[in-house]
Amino acid sequence: MTGTDALFWYAESALPIFRPIIGGLYVLDHEPDAGVLRARLDAALARVPRLRQRVLEAPLHLGLPEWVDDPHFDPRYHLRHFELPEPGTRRQLLDLVATLLGTPLDRERPPWETYWIGGLDDGRAAYFFKMHHCLVDGVGAVAILNALTSAAPGELPDVAPHESGRRAERGTLARLTSLALDNAGAAARLARDAATTPLRALAQPRRTYESLARTARGLRGAAVSLATPSVPDPLAVPGSGLSRRLDVLDLSIPRLRKIKAPLGVTLNDLVLAVLTGAIASYHRERGVHCERLNCLVPMNLRSRRERDALGNRVGNFTVVLPVGEPDRARRLAAITDQTRAAKGDQRGASAPLLADLLALAPGPALGWLARSSLGRINVACTNVPGVGERRYIGDAAVEAIYPFASVVEGTPLVVALLSYADTLHVGIDTDPEAIPEPSRIAALLAEELDAHEALP
């Protein structure tokens, strides 16, 4: 594992109320044949062998966890079926998925599960795929999306199911020996790099300077985010974080582009401004006042050739949402200034380095860090670039793909967005203890977008 992957894995042990799970809810226009669904899952297992692997922690926490083939892998365990009772409404579907999203994964098995859900109104069906965050980030999950679906209706996978070698796991002594060799090799590489760095600097001074400058900017920017003071949310309830309420919203991408073009901002800036306005309206409706809230914004660090790779290649930075600013144009300007600064100093790019260091900390230290970080982030908003063309499972068309990420105590609102065809699908995860009328969030987001459309 990378340090970032390992942090997601360790965080769950250190903070049991934290469920680092991401999910994708596929809504289909009708229910395909069950055999087709199994064939698509077999194709995904063949193309993404990581799905057949479980996590094995290093003895005595002397190294990062590793992925090993699960000799007892059973795809039937990971594919489950539910049938909604009549009338099979969207609300019933989302309530079921909320329960599934909030249920921990079995840490002794490959950390993912899928659920086939029938009985939706109008003959539709749904497919919910949930994964531990240590397995993949939002962008990398698109590779699994593509393996589970096809670009044309009726297309069947031509990939033979992967056969596991069912190799026995190594014993503790063998793994400790391997860790010692790995650490010795890493130390040797570090010493070699340290010895050759002055020579490389002399041979390529400009490239060396630019590399050091980027690292310095990233670390300085990360320090800015880490130094952002925590802000008490008047709606946050101590002890909350386990309950789930899911809502969804569909936004037209052509409409979003039309709105943002004259404003001279990015789509992400517009989304954050709309989210800020919706939260401000929600606070006013609840009769509370709040000047600002801290929003965690993930930053994709993948190169083009890493787009479909598993694992986490993501950084993050904090945007202070000016919830108390009544003027929409000023709110948007304040957000844009922050996102441009974050991109300019590449503060998210230093996250993997910091994660590598944190992942090697003792378990009690990680637990303390996890607990002390609660409440520092009030809301999270992640935007995942999806796929531009329609996808199918058998002859059933995928109408929508809603992404979801988990809330935690002190962060009662997590908004995830995924582009699919010409629509930006929004998945809203809220903690109903802290947000008593969570359905208002989706409605207020839609109203706030209408208001931004009217900006000059």
pTM of the model: 0.84
Residue 401 lies in a domain: no
* Residue-level pLDDT at 109: 96
Rounded to 5 degrees, φ, ψ at 9 are -70, -45
Q: Crossing angle of helices 439-453/253-260, nearest 10°?
A: 50
Give the pLDDT of residue 206: 56
Q: Of 93-97, 302-306, 406-410, which gets the smallest average pLDDT? A: 302-306
Render pLDDT for 124-134 as a digit per residue (tens, 0 to 9).
999 999 999 99
275 and 385 share a domain? yes
308 & 443 share domain = yes
Pairing type for strands 413-420 and 379-387 reads parallel
Assess whether 211 and 252 both reside in one domain. no
- What pLDDT was estimated at residue 302? 56
Nearest to 9 by CA among 141, 136, 173, 100: 136
Once rounded to an integer, what is the mean pLDDT over residues 55-72? 87
pLDDT at 54: 96
Mean pLDDT of the chain: 82
Assign 203 a pLDDT band (cuts: 50, 70, 90).
low
Are residues 325 and 424 both part of a single domain?
A: yes
- Domain range for 204 is 172-219
Is the same domain home to 55 and 125? yes
- Per the listing, tokens 């670390």 go with 219
- Among the three residues 188, 219, 250, which one is the final residue of a domain in this structure? 219
Q: Which tens digits make up the pLDDT trace of 286-318?
A: 999 899 999 999 886 655 665 555 666 667 889
pLDDT exceeds 50 at position 209: no
Total of domains in the chain: 3
Q: How far apart are CA 201 and CA 208, in angstroms?
A: 5
Q: Answer with the residue of higher pLDDT: 262 or 409.
A: 262
CA 167 to chain centre: 31
Mean pLDDT of 386-402: 93
Residue 269 within any structural domain of the chain: yes
Residue 224 lies in a domain: no
The last residue of one of the domains, among 219, 241, 275, is: 219
Given this model, what pLDDT does residue 455 score? 81
**pLDDT value at position 189?**
44
Please check the confidence at residue 281 and state whether its pLDDT lies above 80. Answer: yes
- Are 251 and 426 in contact by the 8 Å Cβ rule? The answer is yes
Domain co-membership, 144 together with 185:
no
257 and 357 fall within a common domain: yes
Examine the domain organization and report whether 379 and 320 are in the same domain.
Answer: yes
Mean pLDDT of 56-76: 87
Q: What is the pLDDT of residues 225-277, one digit of tens each?
A: 455 667 878 777 776 678 899 999 999 999 999 999 999 999 999 999 999 99
403: in domain? no
14 within domain boundaries: yes
208 and 349 part of one domain? no
**Same domain for 353 and 240:** yes
CA distance 155 to 423: 24
Q: What is the pLDDT of residue 174?
A: 57
Instruction: Give the pairing type, strands 293-300 and 53-56.
Output: unpaired
Q: Is the pLDDT of residue 404 over 90?
A: yes
> Is 402 domain-assigned?
no
Q: Domain for residue 127, yes or no?
A: yes
Q: What percent of the chain has pLDDT over 70?
A: 73
Q: Is residue 400 part of a domain?
A: no
What's the pLDDT score for residue 140?
72
pLDDT number for residue 177: 56
pLDDT tens, 23-39? 999 999 999 888 888 88
CATH code, domain carrying 7: 3.30.559.10
Mean pLDDT, residues 131-150 taken together: 84
- CATH code of the domain in which 303 resides: 3.30.559.30
Helices and strands, counts by H and E, the chain: 13, 14
Based on the fold, state whether residues 112 and 87 are members of the same structural domain.
yes
Contact between 418 and 424 under an 8 Å Cβ cutoff? The reply is: yes
Inform me whether the pLDDT recorded for 123 exceeds 80: yes
Average pLDDT over residues 430-444: 92
What pLDDT, on the 0 to 100 scale, is given for residue 299?
Answer: 80
Instruction: Say whether both 250 and 273 belong to one domain.
Output: yes
Q: What are the pLDDT digits (tens) for 146-196?
A: 888 999 998 766 555 455 444 555 555 555 555 445 545 444 444 454 455
User: Which of 164, 191, 219 finishes a domain?
Assistant: 219
CA atoms within 13 A on the CB side of 2: 19
